[in-house]
Chains A and B, each alone.
Chain A
Amino acid sequence: MGIEIQFISADKLKDKTPPQKVEYILDQVKKSKNRILVIEGSLSATDEKELIAKTMGEVSKNFPGIEVASLGEQSSTLKTQLIKLLGGKPSGLTVVGPSTLVKQIKRDPDKLSLLTGK
């Protein structure tokens, strides 16, 4: 079976609270064992922390966890707040996939490489 890569616009998540955002991401990842999410915009450090905690709460025999990596600014700076205020979209991206599919995500400051396999 092939790998499905789902690209998610920042608009899809912009009105969600942090817990709703984390729940949405995890739901999407768990819906298919072959799905990798590429989300427009980087998750904040707090979102990532909550994503890891929620993932750990849902680990089971068939779902051992995720691989996740974000590129771009993770903290809310004046620049990012201004962009948001003016209706712009956040920079960066986030990649999330089930650890049964995504074996490793290697990162440079400006580059992500995914290693997949079953």
Chain B
Amino acid sequence: MPFKQILSWLQNLFGSRQSFSLGLYGNVNAGKSTLANRISKDWSGEEMSTVSEVPHETREVVKKERLAVRVDGKILTMNLLDMPGIATKVDYRDFIKRGMKLPDAQKRAKEATKGIIEAIKWLEHVDAAMLVMDACEDPYTQVNITILGNLEARKIPVIIVANKIDKKNAKPDRIKAAFPQHPIVEISALKGDHMDQLYRAIAQYAK
């Protein structure tokens, strides 16, 4: 058993640190599952979600339980929850445009709507959240505002993640300007850039 896991086990045994649930929220295709995979791979060696360019790849909540994250010598034990992307519309015709056959497209749309409802229900149960935004897109979407508003109303700590900063057209400053009241970390989940900053932010704000 690696040292990290032994330490985590001992800490849990003596109750020095309890685990908390951390939900990854955001619009569809913001990079939540790529980020979940990055975090999971960094601390457990294995990925947890499937990633796709086709929207609504994650259609049910994917959990990675008791993930031990080491930050500045301390261990945080978290249950990481990769949520389906939240949207106000799901049109099966959009999947057909991406090459899917009608029955598959309709099935995906049906599952996606259920996933969105499930993600919304979880808003009341997470201990902390990361709101993942695509830094190339307009951050001022109703989905982002609704998620933030609900987390704020329940006083659930939230970190805004400005993702995809490796892309040329990324503008993380727009996110900072739109939501100055929240901690914001700029990362590339795909490349692994600035993940150390994100782990420090989790230790500071989310635990």
**Interface set of A (CB-CB < 8 Å, partner B):** 44-46, 48-49, 52-53, 55-57, 59, 61, 64-70, 74-75, 99, 105-109
Specify which chain A residues have a CB less than 8 angstroms from the CB of B142 in the assembled complex: 48, 67-70, 105, 107
Q: Which 4 A-B pairs have the closest CB atoms?
A: A45-B149, A65-B89, A64-B91, A99-B89
Asked if B71 is an interface residue, CB under 8 A from chain A, the answer is no
Give the contacting residue for A46; candidates B91, B106, B138, B150; CB below 8 A. Answer: B150
Asked if B37 is an interface residue, CB under 8 A from chain A, the answer is no
Asked if B9 is an interface residue, CB under 8 A from chain A, the answer is no
Q: Do A65 and B92 form a contact, CB below 8 Å, given A52-B146, A108-B140?
A: no
- Interchain CB contact under 8 A, B120 and A107: no
Specify which chain B residues have a CB less than 8 angstroms from the CB of A67 in the assembled complex: 88-89, 142
* Docked pose: A39 CA to B86 CA in angstroms: 23
Specify which chain A residues have a CB less than 8 angstroms from the CB of B143 in the assembled complex: 52
- Interchain CB contact under 8 A, A59 and B109: yes
Q: Do A53 and B117 form a contact, CB below 8 Å, given A75-B152, A108-B140?
A: yes
- Interchain CB contact under 8 A, A52 and B113: no
Interface residues as binary, B139-177 with A (CB distance below 8 Å gives 1, 0 otherwise): 010110110111011000000000000000000000000
Interface residues as binary, B104-117 with A (CB distance below 8 Å gives 1, 0 otherwise): 00100100011011
- Interchain CB contact under 8 A, B117 and A59: no
**Interface set of B (CB-CB < 8 Å, partner A):** 86-93, 106, 109, 113-114, 116-117, 120-121, 123, 138, 140, 142-143, 145-146, 148-150, 152-153
- Interchain CB contact under 8 A, B120 and A49: yes
* Docked pose: A48 CA to B143 CA in angstroms: 9
What is the distance, in angstroms, from B28's C-beta to the closest C-beta of chain A? 12
- Interchain CB contact under 8 A, B90 and A45: no
- Interchain CB contact under 8 A, B89 and A74: no
* Docked pose: A105 CA to B90 CA in angstroms: 16
In this complex, the member of A46, A56, A65, A69 whose beta carbon has the largest number of chain B beta carbons within 10 angstroms is A56
What is the distance, in angstroms, from B174's C-beta to the closest C-beta of chain A? 12
Specify which chain A residues have a CB less than 8 angstroms from the CB of B140 in the assembled complex: 107-109
What is the distance, in angstroms, from B113's C-beta to the closest C-beta of chain A? 4
- Interchain CB contact under 8 A, A48 and B91: no
Specify which chain A residues have a CB less than 8 angstroms from the CB of B148 in the assembled complex: 45
Specify which chain A residues have a CB less than 8 angstroms from the CB of B146 in the assembled complex: 45, 48-49, 52
- Interchain CB contact under 8 A, A52 and B149: no
- Interchain CB contact under 8 A, A52 and B91: no
- Interchain CB contact under 8 A, B150 and A45: yes
Give the contacting residue for B86; candidates A52, A61, A66; CB below 8 A. Answer: A52
Specify which chain B residues have a CB less than 8 angstroms from the CB of A56 in the assembled complex: 90, 113-114, 116-117
* Docked pose: A7 CA to B78 CA in angstroms: 47
Residue in B closest to A95 when the chains form the complex, CB atoms: B142
Given A44-B149, A61-B92, list of 5 further CB < 8 A pairs?
A: A53-B121, A59-B90, A64-B90, A68-B88, A105-B142
Residue in A closest to B94 when the chains form the complex, CB atoms: A64
